[in-house]
């Protein structure tokens, strides 16, 4: 009787262990090492990436497209599920997002931030994130890329969002009509407002 009871408990333990390993991303039935939590987050990331690609397309004139990387990237020690890949339509190659240049990384990050804001709006019944602040990154863009990014930000502004840009790039002064200028002094910083900067 004890042997029978022990066998039943061992069988239940094996089942529970197998389910726990699957849910936590371990075990032979989960080769990509994706935990249940990561799986749910990856599904949300898929939606954000889909929306971000619409914004990114305008900024990079259709060259790059983002995709969620569900794998481990060849590293068995790493968990899979929340990586990003970039497909280059010009070369036909797909590579890790970490291989992008500084300016490209900035544009991808901006597209993802805008995609996240749009996804939040969708999931919250249409509640808008009405203000967006973009901090730096503009100095890493060439003139053409800067024009594309500013066109996307201008489109957001025209759609009713308040867009704040924090930058030290001199060329930006001509593109931003209302500015808050911070001046550092020995006795403390001062802020001045410049309307219609052009």
- State the pLDDT at residue 92: 94
- Given a contact cutoff of 8 angstroms between Cβ atoms, the answer to whether 154 and 183 are in contact is no
Angstrom CA distances, 14 to 7, 20, 103, stand at: 10, 10, 51
Spell out the long-range contacts of 20-25 with Cβ–Cβ below 8 A and sequence spacing 24 or more. 25/79, 25/80, 25/81
Q: Work out the mean pLDDT of the chain and round it to a whole number.
A: 83
Give tens-digit pLDDT for 4-22. Answer: 778 888 888 988 988 888 8
Strands 64-69 and 83-88, by their bridges, are antiparallel
- The neighbouring-strand residues paired with 192 are 181
Contact 108, 64 (CB under 8 A): yes
Model confidence at 166, pLDDT cuts 50, 70, 90, reads confident
Model confidence at 177: pLDDT above 70: yes
Rounded average pLDDT over 132-147: 79
Q: Name the CA radius of gyration of the chain, rounded.
A: 24
């Amino acid at each position: 009787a004890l042997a029978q009871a022990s066998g039943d408990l061992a069988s239940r333990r094996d089942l529970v262990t197998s389910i726990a390993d699957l849910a936590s991303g371990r075990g032979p039935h989960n080769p990509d090492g994706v935990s249940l939590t990561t799986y749910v987050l990856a599904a949300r990331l898929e939606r954000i990436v889909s929306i971000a690609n619409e914004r990114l397309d305008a900024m990079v004139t259709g060259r790059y497209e983002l995709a969620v990387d569900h794998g481990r990237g060849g590293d068995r020690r790493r968990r899979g599920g929340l990586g990003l890949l970039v497909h280059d339509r010009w070369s036909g190659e797909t590579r890790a997002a970490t291989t992008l240049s500084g300016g490209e990384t900035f544009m991808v990050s901006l597209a993802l931030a805008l995609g996240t804001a749009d996804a939040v709006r969708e999931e919250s019944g249409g509640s808008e994130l009405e203000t967006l602040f973009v901090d730096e990154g503009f100095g890493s863009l060439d003139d053409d890329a800067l024009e594309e990014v500013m066109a996307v930000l201008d489109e957001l502004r025209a759609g009713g969002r308040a867009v704040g840009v924090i930058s030290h790039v001199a060329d930006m002064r001509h593109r931003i009509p209302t500015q808050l200028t911070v001046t550092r002094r020995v006795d403390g910083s001062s802020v001045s407002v410049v309307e219609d900067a052009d």
